[in-house]
Chains A and B, each alone.
Chain A
Amino acid sequence: MAGEMMTGNLAAAWGARLAGVDYIPAFPITPQTEIVEALAEWCDCGAMPARFVMMDSEHSMMTAAGAGAATGARVFTATSSQGLLHAFEVLYSVAGWRVPLVLVNVSRALAAPITLEPDHNDVLAARDAGFLQIHAETCQEVLDSILMAYRIAEDERVMLPVLVNLDGFYLSFTREPVIVPDPEKVAAFLPPFRPAHLGFKASAPHALGVAVLGGTPYTYFRHQMHLAAMNALQVHREAAADFERLFGRRYDVVEGYRLDDAEDVLVMSNAFATKGRAAVDAARAKGRRVGLLRLRVIRPWPAEAIVAALRGRRAVGVLDQNLAPGLGGILVQEIAATLYHDPERPKAICSFIGGLGGKNIHEGEFDAIVARMEQAGKAGRGEGPVLLYTEAEHREMAQLQVLASASRADR
């Protein structure tokens, strides 16, 4: 079935629209703005029976979103980068309130230096806030993931907020064919939001987010959040099965590509995984047995699925589109820790860092990654972190530096 051409941002807005959300507190930030603009328009013209409110900051936006959900409304909002960081304090509050709202993050690298283009330091900074995280590869997946996100978030076994991530520019402004699901089928997939334990009302007063004295209740409530997040793995399986039955598209917590006989496996996430697939095809054409594992759900961490996909491989290369200064890649740490206890763990784990600030990863670089994985696997010893940076990029940077120092000399 052919879809409509639409950007990832518009697909996100459609996700919220089809989910029948009640309330959208918003604040603009590039590259997310198109999402809130579309929603503002639809609320205004009556296409969506929701209240849209422009807030004064993301900190306020996230608080209003959480409070609205705590009152019993189905809530959607979206942000990016600096905005996500500005809301950071409240992410923890909202997760602790156990409110099942959906937040879309359009990934964009963090200042300084200030930039508009994407990488994943913004969204990964939020990975321990108690939000579940789904990372989309295509515009279709953005829309579909929002519907799945509400279904998972609102499940009694979970009751946690979900963050759906899409890459700025690479998805936010790229038009792809997107099938807009039939609203009646969506209604069958996503039941109305009638939370049993949430809602401020005169007839059922209660206190939420209260102080606790001492570590005993604190530990208890935090651990409950952990268990709920882990429950989301099972709930995701059920949601994915129902989604596939109704819409014919299947989404798992991780996604394998040409893994069956792969010796070495490249691990990626988000939109750049599409480039990774092309690189796998190219390497396969040259006779190399390479495959790709895309991490789709990052919280809860799908440890079992990752071990199952990587067990017994020769080498694993993790391509992190983030940089933890003083450490290296973030995801490679989690992958390594996950594999450590497996007796058939791969012989080598390599860490690559690329795509920072939206920087492209060229074909040649993928060739180098594949070659280095093979080498590491044979040697039984991983390497990295390796920063992907080509000769041409070095030259380009040197030119910029010449210009910068020349303008200083001019003064």
Chain B
Amino acid sequence: MPWQRETFKKIKQIPREEHVLPGTSLCAGCGGLEALRLAAKVLGDDVVYVNAAGCFTMLAAYPFTPFKGSWLYTTMGSAPAGAQGVRDALDVLIAKGRLPQRDDLKVVVLGGDGSTYDMALSSTSGAIYRGLDFYYFCYDNEAYGNTGVQLSAATPYGARTTTSPCSLQHPAGTIQEKKDIFEIWRAHKPPYIATVAPRYPLDLAEKFARAATFTGPKLFLALSACPTGWLYDPGETPEVAKLAVETGLWPLKEAINGAVTHTYLPKRKPVEEYLKLQGRFRHLFEPTKQEEAIRHIQERVDAYWQRVTV
């Protein structure tokens, strides 16, 4: 039976109220911000965002904040530990009667892929291991964005970053495969993990609604189509974000207590359609087409879907 949405079936059901207000200093067309905006419609305002260094750190820049909820900037490597401290303190203060239950907050880590896949991995692992009741929202722009688009462990094979240039030695650019953070999380056995993309708002909202029913660590990996780092026109973010899913490169899925369900089965357009829109992959097409590299990417996607749909 195909995956059923229960709470959000029609676009009209998505709350109109905004919880991330406009006027931030992030780039125009930031797909990660759009994903966060949609997520916040379900999370609401009774939230404390615990942030790791990255693009989103600039969301709260003195004296402005786009949030109606709270914010704590920690470090690049320890936002999940910050979430631990906030959650524990809220629990203790409520238990001791020093804070009324109605003042309780959802604790949400907000980190980029560099932090999530690399530096904060040990602190994340610790938080999941301890069964911390929190949301982890990772906006994945597949690079260290804020420092000028360097290679991160989330950068996909074939992408060019400022520290994985396409050169004579590495004509394809990045030669490593993207780290499978979804599976790393799943191995820790948290109750809820999901991938989301900004062009699939019902899927995204539904997943946040479902996650709310679980106590414990809840991960959201949000595709963050990034005009600045991926080198395309900001107006094309919706198209790029859509093609990531439609080509099968960004599978939409969730894992409830470890059991994985794909929440959307794309018809799977050729990966080329996604790649050729973006400057970070231009070297795969110009001056000569790197057929082998493109085939490699396609084969990896095919193998993935073969494995999960059989």
Contacts and interface: CB of A to CB of B under 8 A. Distances in A.
Interface of A: 22-23, 25, 49-51, 53-57, 59-73, 75, 89-90, 93, 97, 194, 199-203, 205-213, 217
Interface string B85-119: 11011111100101100111100000000000000
Contacts, number: 165
A65 B85 contact: yes
A82 to B, nearest CB: 16
B73, B78, B80, B125 pick with most chain A CB within 10 angstroms: B78
Given A60-B84, A211-B60, A212-B61, A67 B73 contact: no
Contacts of A65: 85
B69, B77, B82 pick with most chain A CB within 10 angstroms: B82
Contacts of A53: 84, 88, 130
B61 A22 contact: no
A56 B125 contact: yes
B136 interface: no
27 contacts: A23-B89, A56-B122, A56-B125, A56-B126, A57-B123, A57-B126, A59-B78, A60-B126, A63-B75, A67-B85, A68-B88, A68-B89, A71-B85, A71-B89, A72-B93, A75-B89, A90-B78, A93-B75, A199-B99, A200-B86, A206-B70, A206-B71, A207-B72, A209-B73, A210-B60, A213-B61, A217-B62
Given A205-B70, A207-B71, A212-B61, A63 B96 contact: no
A60 B81 contact: yes
Task: Report the 7 A-B pairs with minimum CB-CB distance, sorted nearest first.
Answer: A67-B85, A56-B126, A60-B81, A71-B89, A64-B85, A209-B73, A207-B71
Contacts of A201: 99, 103, 105
Interface in B34-78: 45-46, 48, 50, 57-58, 60-62, 65, 67-75, 77-78
Interface of B: 45-46, 48, 50, 57-58, 60-62, 65, 67-75, 77-86, 88-93, 96, 98-99, 102-105, 122-123, 125-126, 129-130
Contacts of A207: 60, 65, 67, 70-73
Nearest to B69: A205
A22 B83 CA distance: 17
Given A57-B122, A60-B78, A206-B70, A211 B57 contact: yes
